[in-house]
Structure 1
């Protein structure tokens, strides 16, 4: 039985052929209508079963292989995020050495060198005692305001007791300011170093200043780093220690620098060779230049003990002991 035409409903359908989508094309011989027989098929790609996504198997990480970390949003990595979330270990605080840190073998060697020192002791500088007495008076609270510009300049350039190092920048600053202003500024630096801003003596000695002032070590640092209003160009570590050496002869050795450069005769080198201890590096927070300069001096004096005429004699011994290797 012939199919009915969907247009004229006559049973006159005739098979024409297969269409592109696989359906049968029909034609009505009565009215000429063409149509496709059957429902339009669904695309095979739409009904084909999708293959299950395979999870790649992560091979075990081999020992010694460097991991690059998983990238995360923002361009970072999961390893980096983990490190950021983990608090960093606090920095190691280097403690300043004391006499208790000096190894026993170095103390024994020091005692042997002291026993040999009387045979090696050089003659004292004949000008040293007079130089020290003069400048102790000059730098006293009563004498400093009356010190002449020429006396101050002579002190800086003198090599008695110790040399203040390279004084080129100091001389240039002095010329720029002129004798009157330069001497006034230098006197201000000396006064602040020795007695603080208040100009008063502390409980433990004249060099400590008032309890309202920073301690000597911190005043030293402020002047050396040019952070004090009392600072002056060219007044650095060697010159500041030279002032302390003549003004406080009972405490300070005439060894003016912590680090010696190529000379190998700074307090750091001497502490390492003679005492076997390492002086911490100078920094801007805990071990400032003033603290390291003063505490390395005190450590050497404590280790030497008695048996010296004065600290000039003790400094000469240290330089000799350091040269013994």
Structure 2
């Protein structure tokens, strides 16, 4: 059976090659998402060579002046062979300071050209957002019905979660009652952690870390089929002041992921997802915050801001 992509869940994984840390680099043939397979180095390439130890003392023949006898010709040792391997390059997450001056000027021009009076891209988006913000509140979530939760995931209002086949398969396997409880647990842990606080509690992992644990199915609250797009979809309605209805960092051939938009509109490159420094949760939340901070004020809400970003991205 082909390996499933952790982003779009399509069984289209392709082997790219071995990374410097010994893990296997994979690519999805469907959405072009890249990820590393394996938890720890399995290759000698993953071991940083130790500096060569000083040669053990040997008796040397001395000349009349007391200097050591020279080595025979052709036996000189390469300095590179004894030098320690260079430290791996760490790509930091970009900030607004990394935006080129030309990109700043172009963004200002695009904002000036963005028409202030225009038809909303989705007239039902605001109502959909308000309804589900109440549904996902601490008071409303325990009373949500199976049909409401399932419709939220599969609805194309506000934002489309993409391929939901795995989610639907898991829902049908569990049945309405158990699937509803499981999805409620996902939403509750994502938004409020184990403490149940709407504001992040120091006792809980950060939102980005909870997101990662759920997306990678490493949390006891995770549900099969609920990954980055669905988790981001929940955040867009439950945190309407912060999260754009742009559900993927990497969107594959569609070209409208947050990585594509950051490159074309801001002129910056986002780091690749990895399981240590730039996790899927940190990329999902960090790219959202970077885009929102970059475009600044002047938009009615995050839906309006997302429409602008997609328009600006399409300008080439």
TM-score, reference length from structure 1: 0.72
Please give the per-residue CA displacement for 1:190-223, whole angstroms capped at 9, x wherever unaligned.
0000000121233xxxxx2x21110000000000
Q: Does 1:187 align with 2:184?
A: yes
Please give the per-residue CA displacement for 1:33-65, whole angstroms capped at 9, x wherever unaligned.
xxxxxxxxxxxxxxxxxxxxxxx9746xxxxxx
- Cα-Cα RMSD: 2.1
SS at match of 2:115: helix
Specify which of 187, 195, 198 is matched with residue 195 of structure 2: 198
TM alignment of 1:75-90, pairs within 5 A: 83=81, 86-90=83-87
Instruction: Provide the rounded CA distance (Å) in 1 between the counterparts of 2:248 and 2:163.
Output: 12
- 2:278 alignment partner in structure 1: 287
Instruction: Provide the rounded CA distance (Å) in 1 between the counterparts of 2:121 and 2:259.
Output: 25
Instruction: Provide the rounded CA distance (Å) in 2 between the counterparts of 1:281 and 1:311.
Output: 25
Q: Per-residue deviation at 1:111?
A: 0.8
Q: Does 1:156 align with 2:153?
A: yes
Instruction: Provide the rounded CA distance (Å) in 2 between the counterparts of 1:213 and 1:259.
Output: 28
- 1:243 alignment partner in structure 2: 234
SS at match of 1:227: coil
SS at match of 1:274: helix
Contact 2:245 2:306 in 1 (8 A): yes
Q: Per-residue deviation at 1:158?
A: 0.5
Q: Does 1:102 align with 2:63?
A: no
Q: Does 1:132 align with 2:133?
A: no
Per the alignment, do residues 122 and 279 of structure 1 end up closer, same or farther by CA in structure 2, a change over 3 Å counting? farther
Instruction: Provide the rounded CA distance (Å) in 2 between the counterparts of 1:120 and 1:79.
Output: 70
Per the alignment, do residues 291 and 57 of structure 1 end up closer, same or farther by CA in structure 2, a change over 3 Å counting? closer
Instruction: Provide the rounded CA distance (Å) in 2 between the counterparts of 1:199 and 1:253.
Output: 24
Specify which of 290, 296, 306 is matched with residue 315 of structure 1: 306
- 1:262 alignment partner in structure 2: 253
Instruction: Provide the rounded CA distance (Å) in 2 between the counterparts of 1:176 and 1:318.
Output: 38
Per the alignment, do residues 86 and 57 of structure 1 end up closer, same or farther by CA in structure 2, a change over 3 Å counting? closer
Instruction: Provide the rounded CA distance (Å) in 1 between the counterparts of 2:78 and 2:176.
Output: 65
Specify which of 217, 221, 234 is matched with residue 225 of structure 2: 234
Q: Per-residue deviation at 1:122?
A: 3.9
Contact 1:121 1:317 in 2 (8 A): no
Aligned pairs, how many?
Answer: 247
Contact 1:99 1:303 in 2 (8 A): yes
Instruction: Provide the rounded CA distance (Å) in 1 between the counterparts of 2:204 and 2:174.
Output: 28
SS at match of 1:295: helix
TM-score, reference length from structure 2: 0.74
Instruction: Provide the rounded CA distance (Å) in 2 between the counterparts of 1:137 and 1:194.
Output: 13
Contact 2:191 2:198 in 1 (8 A): no
Gaps in structure 2 of 5+ consecutive residues: 1-70
- 1:41 alignment partner in structure 2: none
Gaps in structure 1 of 5+ consecutive residues: 1-55, 60-68, 71-77, 203-207
Instruction: Provide the rounded CA distance (Å) in 2 between the counterparts of 1:89 and 1:120.
Output: 55
Contact 1:98 1:299 in 2 (8 A): yes
Instruction: Provide the rounded CA distance (Å) in 2 between the counterparts of 1:215 and 1:123.
Output: 34
- 2:39 alignment partner in structure 1: none
Specify which of 216, 238, 248 is matched with residue 225 of structure 1: 216
Instruction: Please tell me whether Structure 1 or Structure 2 has the larger radius of gyration of its CA atoms.
Output: 1
- 1:212 alignment partner in structure 2: 203
SS at match of 2:128: helix
Instruction: Provide the rounded CA distance (Å) in 1 between the counterparts of 2:203 and 2:305.
Output: 34
Per the alignment, do residues 216 and 119 of structure 1 end up closer, same or farther by CA in structure 2, a change over 3 Å counting? closer
